[in-house]
Structure 1
């Protein structure tokens, strides 16, 4: 099973070869006011299928810091629906080979469901200042600068913090630390929670973890302790959504105390970012709670 997982994720890495942090432009947009209808797909979608989906163009690029990678794309959603702002943290093994652009289908669908969406880019492994703790510092900086959205007509009083995979790890860490922000919900999608355990695995994402942390757990024990959610007190609003067919982030990563956990049968790792998947429909249901 491990060799099969390594092959699948390695193949995805090959498909993404050549992707760099230089890509900051939004994909070609569908002309408004056309609404994109994402057809239903079977579970266990590929990363490539997500990158091939149509998207709508964000309305604004809003900086939260001075570094060119410290920004977020904003979709305004439907003001009349009064749905909470979603702050979205993308995944990708903390690597700069995987940028914010692959979150665009998800952000499109969430905005079409009525939510304003601010999808964050941040410095990652391979970027100057990225890795631990720089990537985490960026997410915290963005959340401390939510007032920047007010001038664009976004209500920041009600916030859902949503992160996928490595982005789920960073989002949950931020929720544990920024206690002054009262999140309506904090949702980890296939989130990495026990980073020390994860760093000892053998798939391509697991072997990228020591690069993010500048060493293995026994080499950087203090940093791993800080970055490990099992040692953090999380707010009661945290929900973990995970597929039992995820070959990239093992289901054991849902073993956190005092959080809500929902396991989705047959769902794979990238189902959460594909708006046509059953897992994504489950996410929409959770967001409406």
Structure 2
């Protein structure tokens, strides 16, 4: 499966996690994609500078403006050759400042690698109805919406749910619900699993946890208990991928789960198609979503 094509560059202006700095919004022309350079421990700016293309389809899974998802399809997908589906939940510290657009390069790359991608937008802290538990409710509804994709070249019998950072937290929480469509696996990318511990930290994303939860663990103990990931409640096939150079989500967040820690990989490497982390993600997806045999 080849990563190729002419794609549009979009630079997203967002506050960079923990730094408090800002970038100017900009949009660039169509650019050639290159996979020659292998990079590690990439920055958020590296991610937002990547080329991407618009989703092939966009659907609302609820009545609110942020309750939608984008469907990317690989060129190889057809009625006779439906593509396996990757459901993706973007991160961004649960904050409204970080929307789905920074994950467009990943969705583009995964589609170019042969996967259909259903990437979910949801209400976040700062959005009406966002925060706890609205964000999780949106993600669950967004995942359930894949049942409406049966008319597209998508194989709904080969599905992996994945999420990055705070999106990994929401994806794992959603996977604990029994009424979701059938999943072959759940893959967390630098996922937050213990929000009570995470909220005690002092980086920008850790400080955002209390705002998402509506208070500290002392102020809202029942909510924090509901927002914890329990390995006993998860499907049997769960894998957490974590970079050893991650400065935003501590490695301890993957303790107690089946995990793979990648040396020299940082927090955002999972979103960049020119990193060893992305290669590992593709390897895991191909393992969980093998091609059909005659």
Range into which the TM-score falls when normalised by the shorter chain: 0.7 to 0.9
In structure 2, the partner of 1:234 is 234
Q: How many residues align?
A: 269
> CA deviation digits over 1:106-154, x for unaligned, max 9?
1111001110001110000000000000000001011222122223333
Alignment partners' CA distance in 1, 2:63 and 2:23: 28
Instruction: Give how far 1:9 is off.
Output: 3.4
Closer/same/farther in 2, CA of residues 70 and 119 from structure 1, 3 Å limit: same
8 A contact 2:95–2:126 mirrored in 1: yes
Aligned partner (choices 3, 9, 16) of residue 17 of structure 2? 9
In structure 2, the partner of 1:148 is 148
Alignment partners' CA distance in 2, 1:70 and 1:103: 16
8 A contact 2:161–2:183 mirrored in 1: yes
Closer/same/farther in 2, CA of residues 229 and 18 from structure 1, 3 Å limit: farther
* 1:213 maps onto 2:220 in alignment: no
Q: Return the structure number with greater strand share.
A: 2
8 A contact 1:244–1:267 mirrored in 2: yes
Structure 2 portions without partners, runs of 5+ = 1-15, 288-294
Closer/same/farther in 2, CA of residues 211 and 39 from structure 1, 3 Å limit: farther
Instruction: Give how far 1:194 is off.
Output: 0.2
Structure 1 portions without partners, runs of 5+ = 1-7, 20-26
| Root-mean-square deviation (Å) | 2.1
Aligned partner (choices 277, 280, 285) of residue 287 of structure 1? 285
SS of the residue aligned with 2:101?
helix
SS of the residue aligned with 2:137?
helix
* 1:158 maps onto 2:158 in alignment: yes
8 A contact 2:88–2:163 mirrored in 1: yes
SS of the residue aligned with 2:65?
coil
8 A contact 2:147–2:181 mirrored in 1: no
In structure 1, the partner of 2:124 is 124
> CA deviation digits over 1:37-73, x for unaligned, max 9?
3343321100011101111221111110000000011
Aligned partner (choices 62, 65, 73) of residue 65 of structure 1? 62
8 A contact 2:249–2:267 mirrored in 1: yes
Alignment partners' CA distance in 1, 2:285 and 2:231: 27
Alignment partners' CA distance in 2, 1:280 and 1:267: 10
What is the TM-score with the length of structure 1 in the denominator? 0.87
Alignment partners' CA distance in 1, 2:72 and 2:180: 25
SS of the residue aligned with 1:14?
coil
In structure 1, the partner of 2:274 is 276
